[in-house]
Each structure stands twice: as C-alpha cells, then as structure tokens.
Amino acid sequence: MTKKDEILELLKRELIDYKNEEVTKILKAYDFADKAHQGQKRASGEEFITHPLWTATILAQMNVDYEMIIAALLHDVVEDTPVTMEELEKKFGKNVANLVNGVTKISKLKSGKKIAIKTETIRKMLLAMINDMKVIIIKFADKIHNMRTLQFLPPEKRKLIAQETLDIYAPLAGKMGMQQIKDQLEDLALRWIQPEVYKTIHSYFDRTEKDRERTKTLITRELTERLKSSDIPFKIKSRAKHYYSIYKKMKKYNKNIDEIFDLYGVRIITDTVENCYQIFGTIHSIWQPIPSRFRDFIAHPKKNGYRSLHTTVVLEKRKAVEIQIRTEEMEEFNEYGVASHWYYKKGELPDTSQLEWLSKLKDVHKEEMTPEEYYKILRDEILRDDIFIFSPKGDIFELPKGATAIDFAYKIHTEIGHRCKGARANGLIWPLNKPLKNGMVVEIITGKNPEPKQSWLSYAVTSQARKKIKSYFASIRKEEEKKEEEKIKVDQPKQIDSSLKIKTTEKPINSTMITVSIDGENNFLFNFAKCCAPTPGSEIIGFISRGRGIIIHRKDCHNLKYIKEFDKRAIEVIWAVKSNNKIYSFNIITSSQEDSLPMIGNVVQKYNGKIVKWSLNNNGKTEEGSFAVEFVSEPNISLFLKEIRKIPAIGHIEKI
C-alpha cells in the first residue's frame, strides 16, 4: 500500500460519523486534488497529496463539517496547480471556494519582500477568518502537518516557521479556546526553537513514565474508594504537562526540569457541575491542598470560555500533583474551543461578537500600516495574553502582557500619558520601560506640563499609546516649523538693516564657489538664514531644521536665543571651497529599486561619479523619485542617460 493510500484509509476511518453523501463528496474532492497534484513532491520526497490528505484527516478527527474537509483536501490546488478558484466554485460550491481562498497564500506583492508577502498572507487569512472562523481552523490543521514535517526543510527555514507559529498561530488558537491545537503547535515549535530543552524534557518524561502511571493508579484507587457510596461517575485522564509550558516555567524560575514542581497532573471528568464541586471537596479531604493553587474557572470562566476547577495537592512528601475537574462538555469546549460545536454537531457557531480581541483585529484591519507594523501589533498586542492592572482607586484596566507604565498612563487618559513623569507599582518606584505584572496597583506620577519622550515609543507596546506619542510629536513639529517661519519673517527687515551697516564691504555669497561643510562632508541640504545672511569668513553655526535642511546662521545672530531647542539641534559648520565637481539630479521611474540601483551604480562609476542622493517611493506597480550624482568632471550627460535607459528595470529617466 502506498503512503497516500494508508493516509486515505485513516481519513476514511475518521469519516464514519459523516453522512454517506458527505463522504462521497469528500472522496470526489480527494480524487480531484490527487489528479491536480499529480507528479508534485513534498520536501520529504513523499507525494504532495499526502499533505492535503493529512490536513483533512486532522480536521476529520475534530469532526468538523464536511465542507471544511473538502476545502482541506483542495487547499493547495489553486496555489500550486493550474486549477482556478472559479473552477473550484463550479465543482464544489461557493462555501468550499471561499474557504480555500482564505487559506491560499498571496504569491505576488508590489514590494516583493518575503516578510511582506508572509505578513500579507496572514492579513488576508485573518480578514477571511473574521467572516468565517472555519478558515483559521483549516489553517491550523495545515500548520500542524507542516510543523510535523519541518525536519525536511532547510535548517534556517525551520526556525523562522517555528517562530511564526509561536508568534501568531499558537496564541491565536489560544484566543479561540482551542487548547489542544495550541499545545500541539507550541510543542512542535519548541522542538526547533530550543532543540536542547526539547530533548531534555522528552527524555525526562520517558524516564518517569512508570512513576506517572503509579500516581494515576493511586489517585484512582483512593477516589473510587471514597466516592463508592455517592454514585458519582468519573473517569481519570493522566496528563503530562505539555512541553512548552514546562519550558516556560523553567525559563521563568530559571530552574532545571527536576526542580519544577508539578510536571504532570490528572484530569477528572464527571457529569455535572455539582459533581465537579463534590469531587473537589472529596479530593481535599484525602490530600493536603496547596491553598494558593486553587482556581475556580467554573464560577469565573476564562475569556476564551475555558471552564474547570484546578487544585494542586500533596500526595506524599514533596510530590505535588495538579488536579483538574470538569464535565465532559467543558472538556470538549476546553480542548476544541470554537471548533467544539462541530464536535458535538449541535446548534450554530458560538457567538464571537463579544470577543474583544476579534473586534480589535477588525479595527486594525481598517487601518493602513506596513507589514512589519501589522505583524508587531498582532504579536505584541492582539494575540498577547492580557494582564489586569488596578489604579490606586481600584479601577481595573486590561492591557496586553508586556505592557509598561507608559501604556497604562495612555490607557487612562491621553493627558496622563503626555504628562507622565514616573510610576509607582504596589507602592514602589517602577521603571517606565519595565513590563507591569498582572494584578499590580499602579500609580502614574504626572508633571505639570506634557513632556513625552521619543524613547517612550520603544517602551510602549500598545498601538494606542504609540499613536498618541507619535501624534504629540507630529503636532510639536508643525508648531515649530510655523514658529521658525514666522520668526524669520518678523526679523528680516531689522536684520538686513544691521548687516548693511556693519558689513557693507563684504561681498555677497557666491554660492557656486563657496559652500559649508560638516565634518568634511558637504553633500547636505542647507540654506542660509535670511535674518543674518552669513557671508564667507564670518563665524557660522548650523541649525538642523525640520524639513528645510540645515539653516546656516551667523554665530552672533541675535535670533538664535529665540529658536526653540537651538542648543540641542545646533551643529558645527565651517566654510568650505566648493570643488569643481558637478552635481546633477535626475527624475526616475523604475519597476524595482533593487534591480536598478546596482546597475545605475555601475554606469555612474564608469562616468567617474558617485551617487549622493537616492530617494524613491513605492507607487503601486512602480517606484518613483529622484537621485543625484556628483561627477568629478563635466560628464556627457546625454551619453550617460542613454546608458541608463538601457537598464531593463528603468521605465523613465530625465535630468532635472
């Protein structure tokens, strides 16, 4: 039997609960996909169809609806074969086509950078997910199989993919309450992110398997004994903690694996909520509980819907075990989250309108941002776990994990943010760049005046805070520019008068002969201040303006003291004699900077020049802008242009 037939058998076995006509349609989709992928191989050397087949099987194990299984079988045909979306829609219906479209990668993008394509693919998929959760569940199954076969990819790719799984897909599964998927993805990623740690944990569990079995037997025996008379049904699942959560603990407490306290636990499943509490009480009457470790997620479910009782008890000396108690229904929901409804085949989709992260995601999709910004917001804000911070008055605020006092200050109020001077957490001074901890009482110390710092942009993790800081600086900048302009206008007449009186003998600047230089460099944009009109030989100083280059003033210009932040932005300049070098500027349109820059560089070199300015903007399909070249001697510009025009990526070039 070939590999694909083996997996097909597995899939068929999982389809036992599906209706006959559904199974027929699924198998028809399989035949179609198998034909389409004919001859294609995976990195492992196996036939490509094994991948969609596995993806479908993983989904069938979750008992999702049959259209998702069809979409899983077809999920790579549009990307990797000549089959079109229209064809899929005709053959398998709109629902299936929409699902496939949601998980199909973006293959080409204007800017062409790999990271941009990856992020745009994620963005497209999440947009589809907002309308239909099924898209992301198919993607999870796809991801799980890809992660299971990661060893066949080149090592440098493995880490990148594993990191993306940890950054985006695992947290997303967590937000959707799909614990089982989340754990799997995290463990699969850990194997490539921290191979040594992974091996250590793996061998530890190998070694201690018998011990775990004994623990389970012990608990089962004792509980059966105690509950015998009460008629409470229960079953016990032994449960090794998943590797990634152990790794996180080791990292957090900086400990070795055998120093970690509760590496495994048991899960007790019963029929009703009342019996959960009943069993809970019984357990505490048998073994000593650790008081701080009791959690009631039944009375207070987690945001993603998770419900369970948790307690940690001491079995014998130094041996603690975490016990989780829940009903069958909770168990389904805790493991499969929004997908558990298919598992049960009842009712409609869970109501997701209340999920805050989802509405945040919707908002983010309305905003324009670069792929890098989008990835960062997704990873550091939307998909992060939340922490709760209290104000001294007891008001509660929710922030993403990793948030700092700056984020908290801006969350309370924009003005509090702008005027933030420091913070106190649980009564102690807390650095503004240090992440806050869950449950802290945080007080923001404010000054009289708004004085945000640029450095805050690197402290803040919430987009809200970052946006407010940025817009503060943008408004300051505008104001300054206006003031600068006004100052120059106001002072102009007076200035000309005084300079006329004192410096009448000086010649006006011949800008073709004389220039100024900063540290030997003279390729920068500068203007002479109109107020003091420096002449060659006079003592001068530069001021770095916003947007107008460097303004050259006389050192004794009496305007200097009125210019805001002059000291901070002043720069030493000296007079220099301009060389005979010629600088020419060109307007240019190209299909790709990456392709054209090195080739233009070659031509420039041939003409004894160097590129002194390069400024192109992406403009949809093309990139447009200008560049400047400094030539040692007068070049034959028309020949130069002719050579540049021969470069394939150049659409247009002209001398300015």
Q: Which residues of this protein are in contact with Mn ion, per CB under 5 A?
A: 76, 142
At residue 629, φ and ψ (nearest 5 deg) are: -125, 135
At residue 285, φ and ψ (nearest 5 deg) are: -80, -15
Closer CB to Mn ion, residue 14 or residue 76? Answer: 76
Q: Is 382 exposed, middle or buried (0-12, 13-18, 19+ CB in 10 A)?
A: buried
The answer to whether 514 and 577 have CB atoms below 8 angstroms apart is yes
Amino acid at 66: Y
> Annotated catalytic residue: which of 17, 79, 271, 372?
79
Instruction: Give the total residue count for the chain.
Output: 656
> Annotated catalytic residue: which of 46, 65, 80, 481?
80
Closer CB to Mn ion, residue 142 or residue 187? Answer: 142
| Helix (H) or strand (E) run with residue 352 in it | none
Closer CB to Mn ion, residue 142 or residue 484? Answer: 142
Closer CB to Mn ion, residue 145 or residue 384? Answer: 145
Closer CB to Mn ion, residue 53 or residue 541? Answer: 53
Query: Can you read off the two tokens belonging to residue 479?
Result: 């104001």
Q: Is 455 exposed, middle or buried (0-12, 13-18, 19+ CB in 10 A)?
A: exposed
79 flagged as catalytic? yes
- Secondary structure of 491-554 in HEC code, one letter for each residue: HHHHHHHHHHHHCCCCCCCCCCCEEEEECCECCCCEEECCCCCCCCCCCEEEEECCCCCEEEEE
> What is the Cα Rg of the chain in Å?
33
Smallest distance from the beta carbon of 42 to Mn ion, in angstroms?
Answer: 10
> Which residues, in sequence order, are bridge partners of residue 631?
582, 609
| Separation CA 362–CA 258 (nearest Å) | 44
Q: Is 21 exposed, middle or buried (0-12, 13-18, 19+ CB in 10 A)?
A: exposed
Q: Which residues contact 366 (CB under 8 A, 6 or more apart)?
A: none
Q: Tell me which residue has its CB nearest to Mn ion.
A: 142
80 flagged as catalytic? yes
Quick one: how far is CA 383 from the chain centroid?
A: 8
Closer CB to Mn ion, residue 144 or residue 309? Answer: 144
* SS3 label, residue 627: strand
Cα-based distances in Å from 624 to 287, 381, 614, 644 = 74, 34, 11, 15
Closer CB to Mn ion, residue 184 or residue 596? Answer: 184
Closer CB to Mn ion, residue 146 or residue 275? Answer: 146
Q: Which residues contact 31 (CB under 8 A, 6 or more apart)?
A: none
> Which residues, in sequence order, are bridge partners of residue 611?
629
The residues assigned a catalytic role are 79-80
